Amino acid sequence: MPSVEEIRIFLMTDIVLSITVGMSILLAVISIFSGWRRFDLAAIGNPLTLTQVGIAILLALVIRIFEQSSYAQFNLEFLPLKQPLLGLSYLPLIIITIALGPSIGLLSVALFLALTPPLGSFNWLDAVLMLEFVVLGWWAIFPSSFQKRWAGSTNLLISYILVWGTAGSALFHSQGLDIRDWRVHFNYHQNYLLSLLISFLFLFLLGPGFFNKFFSNSRIKPKELKETKTSSRATDLAVQQISASANSPTHFRSGFQKPDISSLKRNDTRARTMSKSPSRIAMKSFKDQDH
């Protein structure tokens, strides 16, 4: 990997590289800032979120290790599956990034690349991939996969085009390739078209229900969904309180205190007795005296 000084001199003498790298840095700053404004990284403090990130990295590593295994080398060599399998190893991390934002997406892919054999290796292609996940997390804020089924696929496509049109072009140009030639881009991306298509379809099938169910603690979840959930909880609590009061054995459904039934019976008997005519009461008393 070239030194910082070599990169600086190279950028100063190459206007195309300066523009593409500058646009890449701008994309990275905007994307990271959009996540920081929402404190998206704070969600990692939740044990559930931490577990989800760990599972995603583990799944990605399993797919990548299988893709690099001798079994895959011999059995998938003559099938159009090896390159798609390489691209699909990023799918669990894509889901995490779309659900939790750019900061956690960057952290996830950085850990994945650090753990991918050979361990600790890093190149400029990895930097482009990391930028792709950061931009994906930015675009995942809106349109949101928590609301629209097509949002995840659209976000992935837009981030892919933006990053490979800037950082990817800078990478190709630094390798001496003519980025104005469309065949330069096609020759590289044709190996990943099938994995991209599978990822698009998979994200479309997941839909908002999946993200709302499993990533309810996301910090990039739209505010209106959070407010609706809070309002729904408050309404449910109020209904439960009213229901508990209505079903209480000492209260009517109106909430007034329930009267004593035995007292009502005594008062009713007394009232019926007093309602009898005076003559009948006197005759009853006279008969009692005779006896």
Taking only the tens place, the pLDDT of each residue in 200-259 is 999 999 999 999 999 988 999 988 776 555 545 545 565 566 666 555 555 444 444 555
DSSP codes, the chain: ---HHHHHHHHHH-HHHHHHHHHHHHHHHHHHHHHHHTTGGGGGGSHHHHHHHHHHHHHHHHHHHHHHSHHHHHHSTTTTTHHHHHHHTTHHHHHHHHHH-HHHHHHHHHHHHHHSSSTT---HHHHHHHHHHHHHHHHTTSS-TTT-TTHHHHHHHHHHHHHHHHHHHHHHHHTT--TTSHHHHHHHHGGGHHHHHHHHHHHHHHHHHHHHHH-TT-TTS-HHHHHHHHHHHHHHHHHHHHHHHHT-TTB-TTSPBPPPHHHHHHHHHHHHHHTS-HHHHHHHHHHHHH-
Indicate the pTM of the whole model. 0.73
Strand partners, 257: 251
Q: 198: which residues sit within 8 A by CB, 6+ positions away?
A: 84, 88, 91
Helix 102-115 with 124-139: angle, nearest 10 deg: 150
Q: Is the pLDDT of residue 159 over 70?
A: yes
Euclidean distance between CA atoms 239 and 241, whole angstroms:
5
22-37 pLDDT, tens digit per residue, is 999 999 999 999 999 9
Separation between Cα atoms, residue 36 and residue 32, nearest integer Å: 6
Convert the pLDDT of each residue in 51-90 to its tens digit: 999 999 999 999 988 877 765 565 555 555 556 778 889 9
- Three-point CA angle 126, 80, 120, nearest 5°: 20
Percent of the chain surpassing pLDDT 90: 47
Residue type, 193: L
Closest CA to 224 of 144, 105, 152: 144
Is the per-residue pLDDT at 167 higher than 90? yes
DSSP collapsed to 3 states, 149-204: CCHHHHHHHHHHHHHHHHHHHHHHHHCCCCCCCHHHHHHHHHHHHHHHHHHHHHHH
- Residue scoring higher pLDDT (186 or 120): 186
Q: How far apart are CA 41 and CA 110, in angstroms?
A: 14
Contact call for residues 114 and 120 (beta carbons, < 8 A): yes
Local confidence band at 291 (pLDDT 50, 70, 90 cut-offs) = very low
Structural domain boundaries in the chain: 4-221, 261-290
